[in-house]
């Protein structure tokens, strides 16, 4: 069974400070991992996918297969980064329709 | 290109009433899913579909029905609404390749 764990429900940092949102996963195959962001009362938006190794809004995430982690990082947080962040795993094999979410981390960036 | 469109945006139901949440996508995506979002629970999969005519249950299917007669539409039916179904419902779609899902704007449902 696949599982995604986000150990922090809440994370509060000051503007300009580095931020790291943790994500660990368990999956027996080769997963596709994503970060989604949800601003207040809006739809979920895809922020990052590990296969494209891109940087969006200054955020990056590296897949560490040894530690089964996919932590999201930003060197200098901005107030507009305040949102709910979800880590998600999608199968890469025959049953790749299923997207499993962690419970989310609410990031607050204080002025 | 509208993406994933959900209607209605808000709905209040009385216990025991039935209703259908609509979801349509115009991206020719094979996969579609319904999630419910509750505080502290993240997003939980209700039902999903891997193509027209094919649906299956997710993590929390009880009290909900789905059908997929076309690639574009994936309605979610509440058979007899209960207060425990008060939630925000999101529809999402994806290509067959694992590139992640595109989400609709959600339906905020309150059952009284």
The length of chain B in residues reads 112
Contacts of B31 in chain A (CB under 8 A): 97
CA B96 to chain centre: 18
- 10-residue averages of pLDDT along chain A (111 residues): 91 97 89 91 88 81 90 96 94 71 96 94
Question: With the C-alpha atoms ordered A92, A97, A102, A104, is the resulting torsion angle positive or negative?
Answer: positive
Q: What is the pLDDT of residues B57-78, one digit of tens each?
A: 998 999 999 999 999 999 999 9
| Interchain contact A56–B (C-beta under 8 A) | no
Nearest Cα to B103, choosing from B20, B37, B19? B37
Contact: A45, B31; criterion CB under 8 Å: no
């Amino acid at each position: 069974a696949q599982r995604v764990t986000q150990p922090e429900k809440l994370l509060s940092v000051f503007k300009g400070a580095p931020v790291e949102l943790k994500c660990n996963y368990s999956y027996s195959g080769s997963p596709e991992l994503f970060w989604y962001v949800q601003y207040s009362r809006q739809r979920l938006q895809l922020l990052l996918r590990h296969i494209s190794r891109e940087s969006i809004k200054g955020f990056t995430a590296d897949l560490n297969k040894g530690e089964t982690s996919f932590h999201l990082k930003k060197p200098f947080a901005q107030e507009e980064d305040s949102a709910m962040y979800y880590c998600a795993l999608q199968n890469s094999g025959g049953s790749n329709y299923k997207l499993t979410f962690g419970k989310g981390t609410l990031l607050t960036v204080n002025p | 290109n509208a993406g994933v469109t959900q209607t209605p945006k808000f709905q209040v139901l009385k216990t025991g009433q039935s209703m259908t949440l609509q979801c349509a996508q115009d991206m020719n995506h094979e996969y579609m899913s319904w999630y419910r979002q509750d505080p502290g629970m993240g997003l939980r999969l209700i039902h999903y579909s891997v193509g027209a005519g094919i649906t299956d249950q997710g993590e929390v299917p009880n009290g909900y029905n789905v059908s997929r007669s076309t690639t574009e539409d994936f309605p979610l039916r509440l058979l007899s609404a209960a207060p425990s179904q008060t939630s925000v419902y999101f529809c999402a779609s994806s290509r067959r390749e694992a590139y992640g899902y595109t989400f609709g704007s959600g339906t905020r449902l309150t059952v009284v």
